[in-house]
């Protein structure tokens, strides 16, 4: 088996004997039937088979003689990108931030808030934006507020992460946690691990106000500037100095770092919305060229650096393309172009609404060498063409527009930044960053893991897994340029995949799949948001009665004027699926719902009892209290009992906030506790039991009935500090059906590193296995950890699985582990490759 052509991809046999990206071979018994599948890498096309196969479908062979097969891959043709330019901001605050509105900042947080989510959403709409995130400091709680809702513009999930330096994580599924400094690692290791964590969630990472966090007092880059994999840098944060921020970006580009540019209002104060400050969401504006008006479309455009910045949504605009590879179009701002030295071509610069201003074209090294070309538009729409020749060393070009400012406070007028775009990077081959301090080389072993889903250059993640009767069922979330889909694969007891994977979801943004199996009945649940403006995710369910070979049509279990999210599914004693999910409606908190489909006429609210909900007062945006119950997982015992676990902040003094006017600073993160509710074998739900400590944030629980009937819960726990504290994985066991639990045990304790996102499963012998991802590896990479619980010995000391790549989001069942991995990424920057793999724990 060999691969040919100028493109890239993978060929695998469904029996897993063959797996190669260049050349490989395998021996088979006479008469064996072999099926080969080809997966093109991002930016490549599978052109078909040659040799013993032809066409582009599955290659089927009978091994009655030696066979040679060639798979042809070619690079996708250069074509001008399609899509629409959408206007937004990448960095906006409200009173969920611990340094929220002006009255709070002026009164040491002991004041009423005056900047709600609704206030900022309204202002973003009036400014003319199409999308906006709320990037509150080191919290994700703003997304649990009923005011996180808009029918006029697209809301993007976001957070201003980390203690120092600050950074913007857009598109994450929860907070990116920055732990404590490790005594034996470089200072920026914490930031590097945060970037990898964000990327594992499908999020993008943007450096916030680089002149305050990534630079020394003299403006030179500090140790934090060594991080790899940054997607964007704020070169225009309104609250700081754009000139210093651009100096930082140019320094990093000159050192081989590759990223796009972002603009950020960083707005905290409604008092700045109007004249004379003119600082509201969208000032400056970040315009993105996206293939769809949905969250994934915006995020993928930001990841690519397809950004154009302007002082406001109606201000000057600028764009840049090149034809270095011929054919009229090669690339646009944000792209890398790989061509031999001496290649000639052109830059085409388009400028709108900039008459009388200066258009400056810079080439590496940037401002220190002065502009390569200067233009002075006389019309509202002009295009300039510049001849360029590629050199033998890495290079880049960027354009900005400058015009006279209106100083505040009054002062002598000066030329200020009016518009800018991401660079076009030109080099003979992909460039590796020349960091002053390098990320450690990978320290790993070959683990024999099998690829389940995802092409090179693409994102696959958040797997779920069930093994039953020797058959493995895996579901995965997969991302495209503006899509998020749910894919199912089945591997039989002989280790043969049934096919390359089946897409189960519809046309909406499908996320967080879960799978449950009993006999030939397979159920897959996920959330799917086909609307996005406003966000209206529903809970969908599909059923296969023949072990995953064919699927019935999708059944929408829950749809409401609100959001239904994060489902889990199991099979009840009746043989019917039982689902749990979180949901929110207007003026209501997030609650946990559970429903046995086909038995219960309506879902049951497991979490509302005992909650104190308060709509607050009009003159204090932090006064509403909507305690959140989120992120459920459920399990079913052999005797029919059902258990659901979730995280809940009802006992926090100011749920979803970081303080209150009466006392100032409160807790951040909140006093999250783990709640566990059990339905007994007769069908009666018991009062939920709370696990966790009041001085810690206890989150992200999972729950399982072991082979002996014990109920096991595992979760994360950390001190109530927003950054600088490590997370540990804890577990507790109940031998009385969830009425009481043992004291929590810290699993594989290592106080100097982080342990995140535990998932539980049952091995073939009935023992309980837990998996999580962990930062203790000496090369800083997140790796999968696992530990096993058996009576009477309890938990073992845990094992670090040292397979290559950054390995995250593991799940386990029957002694098998599925996880997301970057092991096939070829660069630490600009390669988002994350695929799902399968591994035996034994």
Query: Are 689 and 732 within 8 A, CB to CB?
Result: no
In angstroms, rounded to a whole number, what is the distance separating the alpha carbons of residues 141 and 147?
11
Here the tokens at position 570 are 């199991």
Residue with tokens 């120092």: 164
Tokens 């929408």 map to which residue?
A: 556
Which DSSP category does 369 fall into? G
Q: How many Å separate Cα 9 from the centre of its chain? A: 24
User: How far is the C-alpha of 787 from the C-alpha of 109, rounded, in Å?
Assistant: 43
| Collapsed DSSP state (helix, strand, coil) of residue 580 | strand
Say how far apart CA 515 and CA 513 lie, in whole Å.
7
Residue 220's contacts (CB-CB under 8 Å, 6 or more residues apart) are: 251
Strand order across the 33-40 sheet: 19-20, 9-13, 33-40, 59-62
Q: Running along the chain, 842 residues long, what does each successive block of 10 average in pLDDT?
A: 96 96 95 97 97 96 96 93 97 96 96 98 98 98 99 98 95 97 96 98 98 94 98 95 97 99 98 88 98 99 99 98 94 98 98 98 99 98 98 99 84 90 99 98 97 98 98 99 99 98 98 98 99 98 98 99 99 98 99 98 98 98 98 98 99 98 95 99 97 98 98 98 97 98 98 98 98 98 99 97 99 99 98 98 84
Q: What is the predicted pLDDT for the residue at 714? A: 99
User: Is 810 exposed, middle or buried (CB count within 10 Å of its CB: 0-12, 13-18, 19+)?
Assistant: buried
User: For 236-251, what is each residue's pLDDT tens digit?
Assistant: 999 889 999 999 999 9
Helices H, strands E: what count in the chain? 5, 58
For the segment 419-467, what is each residue's pLDDT rounded down to a tens digit? 999 999 999 999 999 999 999 999 999 999 999 999 999 999 999 999 9
Adjacent-strand bridge partners of 92: 267
Report how far residue 370's alpha carbon sits from residue 377's, in angstroms, rounded to the nearest whole number.
19
Q: What's the distance, CA 591 to chain centroid?
A: 24
Q: And the tokens for 742?
A: 């043992």
What's the confidence (pLDDT) of residue 406?
76
Residue 494: name the closest of 1, 11, 14, 10 by CA.
Answer: 14
Burial of 234: CB neighbours in 10 Å, binned 0-12, 13-18, 19+: buried
- Count other Cβ atoms within 10 Å, centred on residue 65: 8
Residue entry with tokens 């388009």:
350
Q: If we measure between CA atoms, which residue out of 89, 84, 111, 86 comes closest to residue 99?
A: 111
Domains and CATH numbers, the chain: 2-75 (no CATH), 79-311 (3.20.20.140), 312-430 (2.60.40), 450-840 (2.120.10.10)
Rounded Cα–Cα distance for residues 603 and 474 (Å): 27
Q: Supply angle C-alpha 90, 94, 99, rounded to 5.
A: 105
- Give ∠ CA 163-164-166 in degrees, rounded to 5: 85
CA–CA gap between residue 16 and residue 23 (Å, rounded): 15
Give, in order, the Cα–Cα distances in Å from 420 to each of 170, 288, 467, 603.
Answer: 21, 12, 52, 51
CB-CB contact of 330 with 322 (8 Å): yes
Give every CB contact of residue 738 below 8 A, 6+ residues apart in sequence: 643, 676, 677, 678, 686, 689, 711
Nearest to 706 by CA among 758, 759, 769, 757: 769
The predicted pLDDT at position 485 comes to 99
Tokens encoding 384: 């300039």
Query: Phi/psi at 244 (nearest 5 deg)?
Result: -70, -35
Neighbours of 377 (CB within 10 A): 20
- Burial class from Cβ neighbours inside 10 Å (0-12, 13-18, 19+) for residue 414 reads exposed
**Phi–psi pair at 399, nearest 5 degrees:** -130, 140
Cβ-proximal residues to 65 (8 Å cutoff; 6+ apart), any chain: none
Find the Cα–Cα–Cα–Cα dihedral 14, 18, 19, 23, rounded to 10°: -140
Residue 724 falls in which region: left (phi positive, over 0), alpha (psi -120 to 50) or beta: left
Rounded Cα gap, residues 434 and 756, in angstroms: 31
CA-to-CA dists, residue 611 to 143, 173, 318, angstroms = 19, 25, 52
Whole-number pLDDT of residue 457: 98
User: What's the sign of the alpha-carbon dihedral 135, 136, 140, 141?
Assistant: negative
Q: Going by DSSP bridges, is the β-strand pair 471-479/459-468 parallel, antiparallel, or unpaired?
A: antiparallel
- The CA distance from 429 to 394, in Å, is 8
Strand order in the sheet with 317-322: 331-332, 317-322, 344-352, 381-389
- The residue ranges of DSSP E strands in 575-624, in sequence order, are 577-585, 591-596, 604-605
- Give the residue carrying structure tokens 């315009």: 287
Cα(197)–Cα(191) distance, rounded to whole angstroms? 10
- The neighbouring-strand residues paired with 460 are 478
The number of residues in the chain equals 842
**How far is 244 from 210, CA to CA, in rounded Å?**
8
Q: Is residue 145 classed as helix, strand or coil in its secondary structure? A: coil
Label residues 599-631 b or e (16+ Cβ within 10 Å = b).
Answer: eeeebbebbeeebeeeeeeeebbbbbbbbbbbb
Measured between alpha carbons, how far is 313 from 335 in angstroms, rounded to an integer?
24
Beta bridge partners of 509: 529
Q: Can you name the residues that pair with 44 across neighbouring β-strands?
A: 75
For residue 796, give the 3-state DSSP assignment: coil
State the Cα angle at 414 between 411 and 418, rounded to 5°: 125
Structure tokens at 603: 């879902």
What is the full DSSP assignment across 716-764? EEEES-SSS---EEEEEEESSTTSS-PPPEETT--TTS-EEEEEEEE-T
């Amino acid at each position: 088996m060999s691969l040919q052509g100028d493109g890239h991809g993978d060929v695998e046999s469904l029996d897993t004997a063959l797996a190669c990206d260049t050349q490989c071979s395998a021996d088979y018994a006479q008469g064996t039937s072999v099926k080969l599948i080809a997966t093109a890498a991002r930016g490549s096309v599978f052109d078909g088979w040659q040799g013993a196969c032809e066409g582009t479908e599955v290659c089927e062979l009978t091994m009655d003689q030696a066979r040679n097969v060639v798979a042809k891959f070619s690079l996708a043709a250069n074509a001008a990108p399609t899509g629409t330019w959408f206007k937004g901001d990448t960095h906006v605050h409200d009173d969920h931030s611990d340094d929220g509105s002006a009255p709070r900042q002026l009164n040491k947080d002991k004041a009423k808030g005056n900047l709600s989510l609704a206030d900022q959403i309204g202002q973003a709409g009036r400014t003319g934006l199409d999308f906006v995130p709320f990037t509150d400091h080191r919290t994700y709680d703003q997304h649990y507020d009923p005011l996180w809702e808009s029918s006029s513009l697209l809301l993007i999930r976001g957070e201003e992460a980390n203690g120092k330096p600050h950074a913007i994580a857009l598109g994450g599924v929860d907070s990116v946690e920055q732990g404590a400094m490790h005594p034996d690692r470089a200072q920026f290791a914490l930031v590097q691990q945060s970037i990898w964590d964000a990327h594992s969630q499908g999020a993008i990472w943007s450096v916030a106000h680089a002149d305050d966090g990534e630079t020394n007092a003299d403006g030179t880059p500090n140790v934090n500037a060594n991080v790899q994999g940054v997607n964007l840098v704020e070169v225009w944060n309104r609250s700081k100095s754009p000139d210093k921020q651009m100096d930082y970006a140019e320094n990093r580009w000159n050192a081989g770092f590759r990223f796009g540019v972002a603009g950020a209002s960083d707005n905290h104060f409604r008092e700045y919305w109007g004249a004379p400050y003119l600082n509201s969401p969208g000032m400056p504006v970040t315009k993105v060229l996206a293939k769809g008006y949905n969250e994934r479309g915006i995020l993928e455009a930001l990841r690519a650096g397809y950004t154009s910045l302007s002082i406001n949504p109606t201000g000057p605009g600028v764009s840049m393309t090149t034809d270095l590879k011929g054919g009229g179009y090669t690339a646009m701002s944000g792209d890398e172009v790989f061509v031999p030295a001496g290649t000639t071509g052109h830059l085409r610069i388009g400028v709108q609404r900039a008459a009388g201003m200066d258009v400056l074209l810079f080439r590496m090294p940037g401002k220190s060498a002065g502009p390569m070309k200067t233009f002075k538009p006389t019309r509202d729409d002009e295009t300039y063409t510049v001849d360029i020749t590629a050199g033998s060393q890495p290079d880049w070009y960027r354009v900005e527009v400058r015009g006279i400012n209106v100083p505040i406070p009054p002062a002598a007028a000066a030329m200020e930044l009016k518009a800018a775009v991401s660079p076009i990077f030109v080099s003979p081959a992909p460039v590796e960053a020349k960091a002053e301090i390098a990320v450690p080389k990978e320290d790993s072993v070959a683990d024999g893991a099998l690829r389940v889903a995802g092409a090179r250059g693409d994102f696959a993640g958040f797997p779920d897994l069930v093994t039953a009767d020797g058959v493995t069922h895996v579901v995965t979330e997969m991302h495209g340029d503006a899509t998020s889909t749910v894919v199912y694969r089945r591997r039989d007891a002989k280790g043969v995949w049934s096919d390359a994977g089946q897409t189960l979801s519809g046309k909406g943004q499908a996320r967080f799949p879960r799978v449950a199996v009993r006999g030939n009945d397979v159920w897959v649940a996920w959330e799917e948001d086909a609307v996005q403006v406003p966000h209206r995710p529903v809970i969908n369910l599909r059923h296969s009665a023949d072990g995953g070979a064919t699927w019935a049509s999708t059944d929408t279990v829950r749809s409401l004027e609100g959001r239904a999210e994060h489902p889990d599914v199991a099979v009840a004693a009746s043989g019917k699926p039982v689902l749990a999910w979180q949901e929110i409606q207007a003026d209501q908190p997030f609650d946990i719902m559970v429903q046995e489909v086909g038995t219960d006429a309506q879902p049951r609210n497991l979490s509302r009892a005992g909650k104190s909900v308060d709509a607050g007062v009009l003159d204090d945006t932090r006064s509403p209290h909507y305690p959140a119950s989120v992120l459920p997982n459920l399990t079913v015992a052999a005797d029919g009992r059902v258990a659901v676990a979730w995280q809940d902040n009802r006992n926090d003094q100011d749920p979803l906030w970081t303080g209150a006017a009466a006392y100032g600073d409160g807790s951040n993160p909140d006093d999250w506790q783990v709640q566990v509710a059990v339905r007994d074998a007769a069908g009666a739900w018991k009062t939920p039991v709370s696990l966790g400590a009041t001085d810690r944030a206890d989150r992200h629980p999972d729950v399982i009935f072991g082979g002996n009937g014990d109920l096991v819960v595992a979760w994360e726990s950390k001190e109530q500090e927003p950054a600088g504290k490590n997370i540990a994985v804890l577990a507790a066991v109940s031998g009385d059906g969830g009425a009481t639990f043992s004291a929590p045990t810290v699993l594989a304790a290592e106080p100097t590193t982080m342990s995140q996102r535990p998932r539980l499963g049952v091995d073939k012998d009935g023992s309980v296995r837990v998996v999580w991802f962990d930062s203790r590896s000496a090369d800083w990479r997140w790796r999968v950890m696992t530990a096993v619980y058996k009576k009477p010995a309890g938990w073992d000391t845990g094992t670090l699985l040292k397979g290559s790549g950054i390995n995250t989001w593991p799940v386990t069942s029957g002694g098998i582990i599925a996880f997301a991995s970057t092991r096939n990424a070829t660069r630490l920057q600009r390669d988002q490759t994350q695929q799902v793999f399968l591994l035996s724990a034994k």
